[in-house]
Amino acid sequence: MSALNSPAVKRVREILKTYNSEAIIIELEETARTANDAAKNIGTELGSIVKSLVFTISSQPVMVLISGDKFCDTKILNNVFGISGKVQRLNAESVRSVTGFSIGGVAPLGHLVEIPVAIDSALQRFNPIYAAAGHPHCVFSTTFEELKIITGGLISEEVSVISV
């Protein structure tokens, strides 16, 4: 079965349609489980890959969309989201229960629960950018502006640090 027919990818496709997005979901022969894998298999720069990282702050799930060539600065997430408490990265099982996606295929939209989103402003350097589409072998291309719209994300210059 093609990964394009998986329920998670279909959910992403339907949500993109509700935003009148012209994004096309691409099935890759090789995995896009990591930003490096995705960049290599798409044939694009590492920074144009959107890493979807899920954390909790005092049990509140949050998502940070980071440029593939950056790391997330977890020390500032409390300020970015306006939530006090301990910041923890979710394990694979928890990510799936919150987003409905497995690690390596976590889309920036279509989550099972509402999740506040912060978007790394460094992603503005690229057009297009590529995000996971619900499966480790599927991505969709979009623009920074469209990513803001479809996620309702807050743009932050602070969430990313040091290039990979």
Does the pLDDT value for residue 6 go beyond 90?
no
Q: Which percentage of the chain shows pLDDT scores above 90?
A: 79
pTM (predicted TM-score): 0.93
CATH number of the domain within which 42 lies: 3.90.960.10
25: tokens are 């979901």
Mean pLDDT of all residues belonging to the chain = 92
Query: 137 falls in which pLDDT band (50, 70, 90)?
Result: very high
Check residue 8 and give its pLDDT: 94
Does the pLDDT value for residue 125 go beyond 90?
yes
Distances (CA, A) of 157 to 18, 47, 48, 65: 28, 15, 16, 12
Q: Which domain holds residue 74?
A: 3-163
Number of domains in the chain: 1
Mean pLDDT of 4-21: 93
Query: 10 falls in which pLDDT band (50, 70, 90)?
Result: very high
What is the C-alpha to C-alpha distance for residues 17 and 13, in angstroms, rounded to an integer? 6
CB 67 within 8 Å of CB 122? yes
Q: Tokens 């690690």, residue?
A: 103
Q: Give the CA count within 13 Å in the CB-facing half-sphere of 33.
A: 5
Check residue 163 and give its pLDDT: 63
Does the pLDDT value for residue 33 go beyond 90?
no
What lies within 8 Å, CB to CB, of 48 at 6+ separation is 39, 67, 68, 123, 126, 128, 129, 130
Distances (CA, A) of 90 to 43, 55, 59, 93: 29, 5, 10, 8
What is the C-alpha to C-alpha distance for residues 113 and 164, in angstroms, rounded to an integer? 30
